Chains A and B, each alone.
Chain A
Amino acid sequence: MADGRDPISRRDFVKLAGKGALVAGAMPAALAACGEDAPPETVVVTETVIEERIVTETETVIEEKIVEVAGEAPTTTLSPRDAGLAAENGADLLIYAPPGREVPTQWPGYLGRFPQPQFAATAGSFASLGELQLGAIEPDIWNPCFAVFDTAVSEGLVQPWDTSLIPNFADLNPNLTAATSRDGNQYAIPLLYGLAIPIYRADLYTPKENSYSILFDEDLAGKVTWTDSAEWFVVAGKLPENNVANPLDPTEEELDRLVEFMKRKIRIVPAALYSDLATNQTDLATGNIVASYVAPTQWIELTKQGVDIAFITPDEGFIGFSCGYFLMADADQYYHAHEWVNAAVSVEAALTISNKFNFGNSNLKATAVDNPLLVDVMGLGDPAALDGVSLLDKMQNIDRLNDAWIEVKAAAGV
């Protein structure tokens, strides 16, 4: 040849072409195994280069085949994440969550890559806290609402998440992530949030002021419903007349005053402290109940039904709640838990939460929801939407408030 290299014989060419075909066939599999697609490349090809490359790559493929057949471990070093995942048995991942969370659309993309996790159903955030504290169940992930945050962290039940293992964490609402961190540790990954709004039948009642005080209005005695929860001390604590400095953490003296206030006021609640959303919704629709304290999901449902229902934006500022995931202190499936929670707060999962349940979701990118009211009311996608909201996640000494709440209920029954 003109460049002085030895010409390639036809026989050699056929041999090389055969090797080339072998390598070409094996390359995608080898690259796929490394988790990469075949890189596009532009190469100036000469016969020698072709021969050298084909020989080298063929040898590599053969060596890999030998290793695979012989069952020897590959010599490549795994990342801590991959090594962790390999060391765990993903099928043992146990998630303690409200019923329904086991539906894979709420954690898309996980199932194809890892084994099916197990689920156990919680019967409420506080009841599950007690069960966990007693060791009645030992999950890896726990999904309560975060009024239990202070107790769960103080009791050492949970450990911080490693947010570097949760790529979707960067997209979560900073107000929610801040409320669920302590001392720089991210103890919980928020999934959803809601505002606790006072609503009323606009055709049957005209509120005197824009305030949570509508729920304590004695003119509405017998026609108001409350929820069965200690958060009523926060609601009552927000009223200017009760003069509580921090409704999320009242002092002993403030709490005593609130207990007396609540004992007086609970008598206007007609029958039930509702825990049954459907009945409450029906009562509001029929006018049996005129005012209630609900999550926006109920307001949206009633609006859809054509009920003349309005909500108040309280001058005291909204109360809000959020729910999500804790990593248990003795979680066995540490890395699988991170993979699962990453899937559970992805944009697709967040959209499912908003579309199916009408809750606000924590992922700021998940704004393409079916119901535009959610964007308007809940401020989906707006990192500042929860500024000034009293998040129940920040409630302190909830056990004290729960005790006081039970006493209020008992006093109403006496």
Chain B
Amino acid sequence: MVSENDTSEKSDTSEKKGRVASLARRRHRVTRSLLALPLGWLLLFFVIPVSLVVAYSVGILETFTKEEGVSLETWRIFLTGENVYMLLFIKSFRMALIVAVVVVILAYPIAYFLAMIADKYKYSLLLLMIAPFMTNFFMRVMAWKVLLGRQGVLNSFLIWSGLRDEGNPIEGLAFGEIPVMIVLGYVWIPFVMLPMFAAMISMDRRLLEAAADLGASRWRAFWKVTFPLSLPGVVASFFFVFIPTIGEFVVPKLVGGTKGYMFGSAIDDLFGMGLDWRTGSVLSLWLVMAVFVLALLFMRLVRFGRLAES
């Protein structure tokens, strides 16, 4: 026979199970409703637009009636280098890489100074650093034209000081590949500094004290403690510059001239004046894929580096 105690224990257990199940269900509902907004956002502003671009790239969607229907021909022409855009991509990749590396190298000491040395003045100095960026982007870029132009500040100074002859200024300073990289670097530095500053400021200082106590020099402590811990900030900063730079088209338009034309400029032109949405879509998707693969590679690398270190 089943005793009364057994029965009440069983009912208690099933009640508990029921409560747990209902709690789990509720948690599921909450999780799903919390996820709905970001997922919906991603769907609406990433998945659907990218799908549309994919559809344009293979001719499922067409802008003009003259286009040739569904085919992978545009992809083939691009990937086999039959047109010039793959070379342009390589050039833009190189430029973006240079800009991102140089900017990160330049911004790192500033971030280090602000986070580790500036002490109570760090936020005031940070504000000072980003103050020029409260002015209009276009004006800041145009200011470089004034500085670097044929009759700009730099050339005027060189001629005034006798370092260059009158009527023989340095050419190609206001337009070309180098000015594009200079201006982009200038534009990105404060933004690049922030992730590194954030990584360093949140660092546990006791680790540095421990390193010092164990006899590490300041340099060794930096390499063994500060730098590895700031690496996520460095990687974030790198991508912060690299991704927009590789697709950049505004700065090349303003200071690029014919030599500073970039992959992003071609995309802009193909969608705008060229009305060739198919090629524009192929180039855009290629850019997304390239950046995505590169980001994955870097994340792996950083993770691998950390594992090796530990």
Query: With a CB–CB cut-off of 8 A, which chain A residues contact B88?
Result: 410, 413-414
Query: Is A271's CB under 8 angstroms from B272's CB?
Result: no
Q: Which residues of B contact A154 (CB under 8 A)?
A: 65-66
Determine the distance from Cα of A272 to Cα of B266 in the docked complex, in whole angstroms: 16
Chain B 274-303, CB within 8 Å of chain A: the 1/0 string? 111101000000000000000000000000
In the bound complex, CA of A109 to CA of B193 (Å): 59
Distance between A292 CB and nearest chain B CB, rounded to angstroms:
15
Q: How many pairs of A and B residues are in contact by the CB < 8 Å rule?
A: 103
B258 within 8 Å of A (CB atoms): yes
* Interface magnitude class on chain A: 35 or more
Instruction: Report the interface size for chain B: residues with CB under 8 A from the other chain.
Output: 36
> In the assembly, what is the distance between CA of A273 and CA of B261, in Å?
11
Which of A155, A228, A269, A414 gathers most chain B CB within 10 Å? A414
Neighbouring A residues of B262 by C-beta, 8 Å: 413
Q: State in angstroms the CA–CA spacing of A154 and B64 once bound together.
A: 10
Q: Are A412 and B274 in contact (CB under 8 A)?
A: no
- Inside 8 A of B275's CB, which chain A residues have their CB? 126, 129-130, 133, 151, 399, 402
**Contact across chains for B172 and A271 when beta carbons are under 8 A apart:** yes
Contact call B272/A409, Cβ cutoff below 8 A: no
Pairwise interchain contact B64-A288, C-beta atoms closer than 8 A: no
Nearest chain A CB to B170 CB, angstrom units: 12
Chain B CB within 8 A of A134 CB: yes
With both chains docked as a complex, state the minimum distance between the C-beta of B148 and any C-beta of chain A, in angstroms.
Answer: 11
Q: Which residue of A lies closest to B262 (CB)?
A: A413
Could you say which residues of chain B place their CB within 8 Å of the CB of A271? 172, 174-176, 257-259
Given contacts A130-B272, A270-B171, A271-B175, 13 further A-B contacts (CB under 8 A): A130-B63, A154-B65, A267-B258, A270-B172, A271-B259, A399-B66, A402-B274, A405-B273, A406-B269, A409-B266, A410-B266, A413-B256, A414-B88
Cross-chain pairs A/B with CB under 8 angstroms, 7 sampled: A126-B275, A130-B271, A133-B64, A222-B171, A413-B91, A413-B256, A413-B261
Q: What is the interface of chain A, defined by CB distance below 8 A to chain B?
A: 124, 126-127, 129-130, 133-134, 151, 154-155, 222, 228-230, 266-267, 269-273, 286, 288, 397, 399, 402-403, 405-407, 409-414
Interface residues of B (CB under 8 A from A): 63-66, 83-85, 87-88, 91, 150-151, 171-172, 174-176, 256-262, 265-266, 269-277, 279
